[in-house]
Amino acid sequence: MKRLLITFFILICWCGTGFSQSLPIPTKTKDPRYFEKDPAKRKAFFEEQEKLLRQIEARLKELKPQNPEEKKIIKEAEELLSTLPLLWQKIELELAQKPETEPLNLPPLKKPPYSIEDFRRLLSLGFQLQHELEALRGKIRLEEQELERLEKALEEIYRDYLLLAEEKAGPETYLRLAEFLNLQARWALAKIRLDRSNERLKQLVDLKTRYETLVHRVFAGLKATPKDIEPFEKAVKKAQQELELLQQKNQKLREKAERDLALLEIRLAKLGNGKSTLVALKGKYYETRRENIETRLQELDEAENLASLKVEHLTLWLDFVSCLAKCPRHHVFETIEKYQERLEQLEDQKENTKYRLDYLQEKIIIVKSNLALHKDELKRATKKQESYYLKLLIKEEQDLLKNLEDLQGLLQKELELLKRFTFEGNTIITLWKAKISFLTKALNRLKKFYQRSENTIKSILYYPLWKSGETSFTVLSFLKIVLVLAIGIILLKLIRRKIERFLIQRLGMAPGVVNSLSTLSYYIMLCLLALVALSSAGINMSQIALIFGALSVGIGFGLQTIANNFVSGIILLTERSIKVGDLVQFEDGTIGVVKKINIRSTVIRTFDALEIIVPNSEFISQRISTWTYDDDWRRILIPFGVAYGTDPEKVKEVAIKAARTVPITREDRDHPVRVRFVGFGDSSLNFELAVWIRQSEVNRAMTGIKSDYYYALYKALNEAGIEIPFPQRDIHLRSIYPEAAQELRRAFEEGSCE
């Protein structure tokens, strides 16, 4: 922003000093008229630019250089100006060029099922599309960098030109003007090319979206038969045979190269560290020859890697087609996992190959530079021996250059195959995973987790908790007991419910008798179930007898309270005389809601938000009032009084209406709202309002419930003009201080008191 303000200030000053008569004034660094869509307007603009060019060239010829430096500047400006018509012509050609059509077209496909060849052709097209997208994105990054560089250079040249034009119209000024016009044309050309590349990228991205939709559709309708496997089996077998032949051939070449390397090491050791030119040439020759042999060894390794990669690539397709045709489900998961790990390794190998190619390119440049240098030295060499070793060195460097280029070609092929392999492999695995159901994936994950943790799980399950004789009680035994007890208790409850319903409905037995019989039977069956559960865990009856004997001794010596609470908890949980959510009241007046019933104690939450932990034995041994045992209808009594002389019928009517205005009031035929005249008080007629509520709808203390009714009663009685009496007292003063009597007398005389 600061740079633009300075430029604008200079332009204003420049326009005011009259330089416009001798030099052209560019008003913008980036002229949008280069991109004019109307051919006529664009042609007029280029004609105007050409006219300006002729004027500048004429003024350059009028300049008289004072020294060789100025002549050089003028010549450079003329050369820059001479390139402008060519740049304009390129801009015209770029703008006139039609938008690039899609070279990659999605193939027309028949109706499903689709063949493996259809799928392979589609993947080949996808690989080409991905390759072109990567290349185009790289090209766009370079074009953006070039455009940014041209914009910065254009601003700097523009600023320098304005500063020079303000001083004088010399050769340097015209050089800056020529550079500015040249940069402006190059910037416009770069902008047009970048826009064209972005448009092409948009087309390819749209094509890729359509391709992905198509490849999912084709994969969904893909079918393979055992006949489709045969071509891939033959291809894999042929590739393996070629690999074996190549390895046998390379083994002989590798042995010969290793022998040559050993001889070279001996010669280099004998050569020593002589400082003569001849010794140095011999050393360079031997080192170049050693490097050449090492490069050939790398070629052999790379050729085998490439052949092995081809075999692996074909094997991927063979495994895919085989699994698609006939392999079981577990084998599909194994194949996917195997290739997932392998593809991750191939991604690393691909990055390593790119690094090797970059390093090899630098090495080729160094060898070419050394080759040119040694050819120059050969031309200047005068001694016969030096010429001889220089020729050997040049020949060896030429061989090295050829081997490096061959190695580069092999690496390029490997990189291309790695890209294709990873693209096809990742595409197949992604599509394959999407086709597998969620349940199958979950089962496979569970299976893999078990396989990874099998030994750990077994060590946990068979961990001995205690040992009695030759029998060990393990975690698995405990789980067996829990499972048998859980299933048994559920079945016992269902059977108990069915038996109770049968005895009451079919046989007509009394509910109390049925409840006693079912409860007694339930506990007997529960004990038998416990014995069965212990037996299933491998504990014999003698051990069970010992355990119960030990428990009885322990209970007799100090576990009476715990056993009492434990048994009480079982009774509470089985009888369900008190349930979670019940509102209970103890003999000491404590009221609260049952929040949790444990095996030893029960948690009660009072209306003051106080948590009370009560031993279960208290619920069995004491009398507990529960407000929500059978139903949740509860009657509330609200006593109140009115003044003597009030009509009782009117009081009754007003009180009933007031009670019905309270939202928590519930009323039906069996639960009416009543007002009772309960007696004559010292200063009031005493009444009692009896209302019904549903306790399950009101989760608060009784004082809060009564408060709602007192509010409603007070409001209703006031509105009806019914007086609520209260005690009154008269105060008689028998003696008073004289000073106080005088003050009171003065106040009455002045009229300030009544």
* Parallel, antiparallel or unpaired: strands 464-468 and 625-626: unpaired
Report all structural domains of the chain as residue ranges with CATH numbers, in order of start. 2-217 (no CATH), 225-449 (no CATH), 464-558 (1.10.287), 578-626 (2.30.30.60), 634-719 (3.30.70.100)
Q: Which residue shows structure tokens 């109140």? A: 640
Averaged pLDDT for residues 476-484: 78
For residue 329, the model assigns a pLDDT of 64
At 569, list the tokens. 């908890």
How big is the chain by its Cα radius of gyration, in Å?
Answer: 52
Q: How do residues 670-699 score in pLDDT, each as one tens digit?
A: 788 888 888 888 788 889 988 888 876 776
H/E element, 569: helix 560-575
**Residue 455: pLDDT above 90?**
no
pLDDT score, position 414? 92
**The amino acid at 89:** Q
Instruction: Kindly state the average pLDDT of the residues 39-61.
Output: 87
* Least confident segment among 195-204, 315-324, 514-523, 663-672: 514-523
Rounded-to-integer distance, Cα 382 and Cα 389, Å: 12
Beta bridge partners of 81: none
pLDDT tens for residues 546-597?
556 655 655 555 566 666 766 766 676 666 667 666 777 777 767 777 777 7
Whether the CB-CB separation of 117 and 223 falls below 8 Å is answered with: no
686 strand-pairing partners = 641, 679
pLDDT at 450: 63
| Residue 112, both tokens | 């499903």
Average pLDDT over residues 733-750: 66
Of residues 723, 582, 568, the one with CA closest to residue 644: 723
Least confident piece of the model among 20-34, 281-295, 524-538, 739-753: 739-753
Of the given ranges (189-203, 311-325, 329-343, 570-584), which has the lowest mean pLDDT?
570-584
Residue 192 near residue 35, CB atoms below 8 Å: yes
Q: What is the crossing angle of helices 171-220 and 68-82, to 10°?
A: 30
Alpha carbon distance 115, 223 (integer Å)? 6
Q: Give the residue, 378 or 149, on which the prediction is more confident.
A: 149
- Identify the pLDDT of residue 18: 36
In the predicted structure, residue 274 carries a pLDDT above the cut 50: yes
Which amino acid, one-letter code, is at 335? T
Would you place residue 362 in the very low, low, confident or very high pLDDT band (cuts 50, 70, 90)? very high
What pLDDT score was predicted for residue 630? 64
**Which residues partner with 602 through β-bridges?**
597, 614
pLDDT-derived band at 17 (thresholds 50, 70, 90) equals very low
Greatest mean pLDDT range, 30-39, 431-440, 563-572: 30-39
| Rounded Cα–Cα distance for residues 393 and 288 (Å) | 7
Structure confidence at residue 291 (pLDDT): 92
Does 416 score more than 90 pLDDT? yes
Taking a C-beta distance cutoff of 8 angstroms, is the pair 689, 640 a contact?
Answer: yes
Instruction: Return the higher-pLDDT residue of 664 and 327.
Output: 664
List pLDDT tens digits, range 186-206. 999 999 999 999 999 998 898
Q: What is the mean pLDDT of residues 26-40?
A: 83
State the residue for tokens 């027309």.
108
Report the DSSP pairing between strands 583-585 and 625-626.
antiparallel
How far apart are alpha carbons 554 and 561 in whole angstroms? 12
- Reduced to 3 states (helix: H, G, I; strand: E, B; else coil), residue 465 is strand
Given pLDDT bands bounded at 50, 70 and 90, which one contains residue 15?
A: very low
Q: Do 567 and 523 meet the contact criterion of CB atoms below 8 Å apart? A: no
Portion of the chain with pLDDT greater than 70, in percent: 77
Q: Which residue has the higher pLDDT, 175 or 553?
A: 175
Q: Is the pLDDT of residue 44 over 80?
A: yes
CA–CA separation, 450 and 576 (whole Å): 41
pLDDT at 530: 77
User: Where is 516: in which H helix or E strand?
Assistant: helix 511-536
Instruction: Please report, rounded to a whole number, the percentage of residues in the chain having pLDDT higher than 90.
Output: 19
Q: At residue 159, does pLDDT exceed 60?
A: yes
Of 27, 29, 21, 86, the C-alpha closest to 53 is 86
- Which of 20-24, 286-290, 735-739 is least confident? 20-24
Q: How far apart are the first and last CA of the chain?
A: 87
The token pair that represents 723 in the structure block: 């007086």
Structure tokens at 545: 């007898």
Predicted local distance difference test score (pLDDT) of residue 14: 38
**Selection from 269-283, 513-527, 708-722 with the highest mean pLDDT:** 708-722
Distance CA(298)–CA(283), nearest Å, equals 22
The chain-wide mean pLDDT, for the chain, equals 80
Q: What is the pLDDT of residue 313?
A: 92
Contact 514, 462 (CB under 8 A): no
C-alpha separations of 429 from 42, 319, 340 in Å: 53, 12, 8
* 563 CB burial (10 A radius; 0-12, 13-18, 19+): middle
Look at 389 and 468; give whichever has higher pLDDT.
389
Confidence of residue 398 (pLDDT cuts 50, 70, 90): very high
DSSP percent split of the chain into helix, strand, coil, nearest 5: 70, 10, 20
**pLDDT surpassing 60 at residue 513:** no
Between helix 702-719 and helix 648-661 the angle, nearest 10°, is 130
Say which DSSP state 644 is in. T
pLDDT band at 21 (very low <50, low <70, confident <90, very high): very low
Burial (CB count <10 Å: 0-12, 13-18, 19+), residue 734: exposed
> d(Cα 89, Cα 251) in Å, to the nearest integer?
59
- pLDDT at position 664 is 82
DSSP string, 128-168: HHHHHHHHHHHHHHHHHHHHHHHHHHHHHHHHHHHHHHHH-
Tell me if 306 sits within 8 A of 409, measured CB to CB. Answer: no
In which residue are the tokens 């390819």 written? 204
State the pLDDT confidence band at 20, using cuts at 50, 70 and 90. Answer: very low
pLDDT band at 753, cuts 50/70/90? very low
The pair of three-digit structure tokens given for residue 412, joined into one six-digit string? 């390029």
Statement: residue 246 has pLDDT above 80:
yes
Q: How confident is the model at residue 305 (pLDDT cuts 50, 70, 90)?
A: very high
pLDDT at 330 over 70: no
Rounded to 5 degrees, what angle do the CA atoms 124, 126, 132 make? 105
pLDDT tens-digit profile of 365-377? 999 998 899 888 8
- DSSP secondary structure letter of residue 99: P
Q: Name which of 23-32, 221-230, 232-241, 471-480 the model is least confident about.
A: 471-480
CB-based contacts of 8, cutoff 8 Å, min separation 6? none
Instruction: Please check the confidence at residue 641 and state whether its pLDDT lies above 60.
Output: yes
CB 347 within 8 A of CB 405: no
DSSP 8-state class, residue 34:
G
The conformation of residue 32, written as its DSSP 8-state character, comes to: G
Asked whether the predicted pLDDT for residue 243 surpasses 90, the reply is yes
User: Region 460-480: what's the mean pLDDT?
Assistant: 68
Pick the closest to residue 429 from 345, 334, 353 (CA basis).
334
Q: Which amino acid is at 175?
A: L
How many residues are there in the chain? 754
The pLDDT of 75-95, averaged and rounded, is 89
Asked whether the predicted pLDDT for residue 748 surpasses 90, the reply is no
The pLDDT assigned to 352 comes to 92
